[in-house]
Structure 1
Amino acid sequence: MEAAKTILALGNNLMYTASIRDVAAPLGGILITAESIVELKDKLDTAHPTLLIIDLSAATPGWKDLVAEAKRRGVYVIAFGPHVQEELRKEAEEAGCDKVFVNSKFKLELPNLLPTYLK
């Protein structure tokens, strides 16, 4: 049996976490969520994820350092946020996120994204 791929996500928006879980499960992916940067860092240390997804609406100070740490470990990072927060999405790109989306585009692209990162 193939090992499960772990997705670690920052955020507690049930609409997004349910969508991620629904797409990941048939691919053998397991979603672990965190509601704070501290919790996310702890889970990054223990879960050894393949992919980190950051809801920029839930991001608090320290999220950029977490992106950098995930990238050092070879973890892919995707971020998404409201279309009105263009500056925050730009910060996510500058912080090293592999992909950054507006919320609506993220949800539409999810079925195409996860197979790429969970292979």
Structure 2
Amino acid sequence: MTISCDFCALRNTSKPTSIVGNGTPASCNQSALVAALLKGGINIFNCGSGHNITININVSLQISSINDTIIDGAGIATLNGLWRTRILKFDSGDFLYSTPTLTVQRLRLSNG
């Protein structure tokens, strides 16, 4: 299934809270992504220039239930659930008291 939105504006990610990776494909891994997502905020990837990257997800990624979270894959990142795990888990608790948001843009989710 593909979901796209040609008229949707991208969120500004020019001042990231966390950068997943240090410029090499190997540094873009589940552990780095888990650490970034726990903080919430703006999360981007630095996996090396022009490299498409697939990050295998073995345990569902918990999204911050306190802070708004943006995950921007920049069109290079794919999160692969390996047909055995839910990729993202977002439980904001009681929406009457807390309404953090999750924005996923330019990111592929597969086999989750």
| Bigger helix fraction | 1
Q: TM-score, normalised by structure 1?
A: 0.34
Larger radius of gyration: 2
Q: TM-score, normalised by structure 2?
A: 0.36
